[in-house]
Amino acid sequence: MGLSIGEVAQRSGLSVHALRFYEREGLFANPVRRLSNGRRIYDEEDLEWLAICTKLRSSGMPLVVIRQYIELVRQGPGNEHERLELLRQHETHVETQIRELQDTLAVMRLKVRIYEDHIARGEADRLWNPSHPAAAQAGTQQECHPPEST
C-alpha cells in the first residue's frame, strides 16, 4: 500500500514540513503519488532518493543543481555523462569545503592549545582582551600570532 508522510518523516529523519517542501520544490525523483482522499503515499524508492537528496543538500548542492540532476534522471537513459559532470563538479566543491574545514579545525586546535597553556600557567589575563590595558602587548600577539614554538 505504501508509506504515509508521517512514516516517511519518521524513517527519513525529515519533518513532514520538509517533505512537503521537497515535493513543492520538485526534489523527488518521481512525482509523489496521492490516494483518492488526497493523502500522499510514498514507497521505498522515495526513501532511497530522499537519503541521496538530503546528502546532496547537506553538502551544499544548490536546489537548482539538484533539480537539474533530477530532471536528467527523470529523462532516463542517455544523459549519464551530463549527470556525471554535475556530480563531479559538486564532488570538487565538497572537497574544497573539506579542505577549508580542515584549515579551520587546525586554527581552532591551535587557539585551544594557546588558551589551555595560558590558563595552566595562570596567565589567562594575558590573552587578547580589548578592555584590558595591556591588550596591545604580548597577550594579544600570543592569541592572534602564536609563538614560534607552537
- Indicate where the chain has its CATH 1.10.1660.10 domain(s): 1-76
Q: pLDDT digit string (tens) for 106-134?
A: 999 999 999 999 999 998 888 876 665 55
> Which three cell numbers, joined as nine digits, stand for 34?
496521492
Q: pLDDT digit string (tens) for 29-58?
A: 989 999 999 999 999 999 999 999 999 999
- Spell out the residues 6+ positions from residue 97 whose beta carbon is closer than 8 angstroms to its own: 59, 60
Identify the pLDDT of residue 1. Answer: 75
pTM: 0.72
**Does domain 1-76 correspond to CATH entry 1.10.1660.10?**
yes
